[in-house]
């Protein structure tokens, strides 16, 4: 094949506002739509409007995504934000269904960059991920808690321990993301009018999340954590118990079902045999009653015409004998 035929066109760039999209030809329509969405929703709860230029690289396949994302991307990840480079790497149109909605995915990653622009490295991982999930409106996170086995077995973990959960495998990370989302959402709900606005301002000026909570919401970080853990367990513990009991019953049904069907078939066969025996006994009883009425022995069978002589013959023989 000629070298010209093997040549792959380089990725193209689309720039508008503070965003630059980098994508191959196959992903350009998606890149344009993502760019329009980023421009239309370029503000984040509690933060001033970001100004840092951002590059969004849309990878055409999994191999390129891994190469561009580097070693920091988890195996199950669909996108990654790299604050040090003001860059987002995400999967393109070849991504699987588990990658999620690309517009929500981009919104999630841009929230990371916006938070970093305002607070630098102050936020711990649990707050960083919880805030990004809140911005992307990932309400489905609550469904994970409603079916969490870990919530039943171990209760709600501390906020600090959540950070380790983001790198502990897909299942564990899913629960960590859900708990982080719930924590930030509950924190924002403490001030229905201003949400996180005052909190972010105090956090930036003091450098302390505990002092920021005291100033903005009138409670310490430890007091918030105790209340968050209690409310989360109260809210989702019963749901998780119900969901897991339903799952356990379904599994038991699958395991026990074949034995129950076999037992039912055996019982049905026994019942049919009993009915046949009862029918035979009733038939024999009826035949016995009829035989008694006819003067026959219940054990006698029907007599043929050749064996039974007509009444006249009995009289003739009787006359001959006299």
Residues 86 and 162 in one domain: no
Domain annotation covers residue 172: yes
Q: Kindly state whether residues 85 and 188 are assigned to the same domain.
A: no
Query: What pLDDT sits at residue 300?
Result: 53
56 by DSSP, 3-state: which?
Answer: strand
Q: Is 90 within the bounds of a domain?
A: yes
Selection from 205, 228, 225 nearest residue 215 by Cα: 205
Cα–Cα distances (Å) from 72 to 65, 77, 79, 147, 282, in that order, read 12, 10, 11, 29, 83
145 and 262 inside one domain: yes
Which of 121, 154, 170 is where one domain is finished?
Answer: 121
pTM for this model (two decimals):
0.70
The reported pLDDT for the residue numbered 239 is: 44
Do residues 222 and 273 both lie within one domain? yes
pLDDT reported for residue 24:
96
Q: Within this chain, do residues 254 and 144 fall inside the same structural domain, yes or no?
A: yes
| pLDDT for 156 | 76
**DSSP letters of 92-110?**
-TT--GGG--HHHHHHHHH
- Same-domain status, 33 and 107: yes
**Segments of the chain with pLDDT less than 70:** 1-8, 141-155, 168, 237-262, 296-322
CATH, residue 112: 3.40.30
Residue 217 falls within a domain, yes or no? yes
Q: Residue 271 is part of which domain span? A: 138-283
Helices and strands per DSSP (H, E), number in the chain: 13, 5
- In the prediction, which pLDDT does 190 show? 96
Q: For residues 188 and 228, give the distance between their C-alpha atoms in angstroms, rounded to a whole number.
A: 12
**What's the confidence (pLDDT) of residue 41?**
96
What is residue 251's predicted lDDT score, i.e. its pLDDT?
46
- Scored b (16 or more CB within 10 A) or e, 295-318 reads eeeeeeeeeeeeeeeeeeeeeeee
């Amino acid at each position: 094949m000629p070298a010209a035929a093997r040549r792959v066109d380089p990725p193209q760039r689309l720039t508008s506002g503070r965003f630059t999209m980098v994508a191959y030809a196959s992903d350009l329509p998606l890149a344009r739509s993502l760019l329009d969405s980023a421009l239309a929703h370029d503000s984040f709860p509690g933060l001033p409007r970001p100004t840092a230029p951002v590059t969004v690289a849309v990878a055409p396949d999994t191999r390129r995504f891994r190469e561009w994302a580097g070693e920091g991307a988890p195996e199950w990840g669909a996108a990654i934000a790299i604050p040090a480079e003001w860059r987002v790497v995400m999967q393109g149109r070849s991504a699987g269904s588990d990658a999620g909605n690309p517009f929500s995915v981009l919104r999630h990653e841009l929230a990371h960059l916006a938070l970093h622009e305002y607070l630098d490295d102050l936020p711990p991982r649990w707050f960083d991920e919880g805030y990004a999930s809140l911005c992307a409106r990932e309400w489905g996170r609550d469904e994970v808690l409603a079916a969490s086995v870990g919530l039943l077995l171990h209760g709600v973990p501390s906020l600090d321990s959540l950070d380790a959960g983001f790198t502990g495998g897909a299942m564990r990370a899913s629960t960590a993301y859900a708990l982080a989302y719930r924590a930030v959402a509950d924190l924002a709900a403490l001030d229905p009018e201003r949400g996180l606005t005052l909190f972010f301002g105090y956090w930036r000026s003091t450098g302390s999340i505990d002092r920021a909570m005291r100033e903005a919401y009138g409670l310490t970080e430890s007091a918030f954590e105790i209340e968050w853990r209690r409310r989360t367990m109260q809210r989702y513990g019963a749901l998780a118990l119900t969901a897991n009991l339903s799952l356990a019953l379904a599994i038991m049904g699958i395991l026990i079902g074949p034995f129950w069907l076999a037992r039912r078939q055996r019982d049905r066969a026994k019942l049919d045999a009993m009915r046949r025996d009862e029918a035979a006994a009733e038939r024999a009883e009826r035949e016995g009653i009829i035989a008694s009425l006819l003067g026959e022995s219940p054990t006698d069978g029907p007599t043929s015409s050749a064996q039974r002589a007509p009444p006249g013959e009995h009289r003739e023989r009787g006359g001959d004998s006299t």
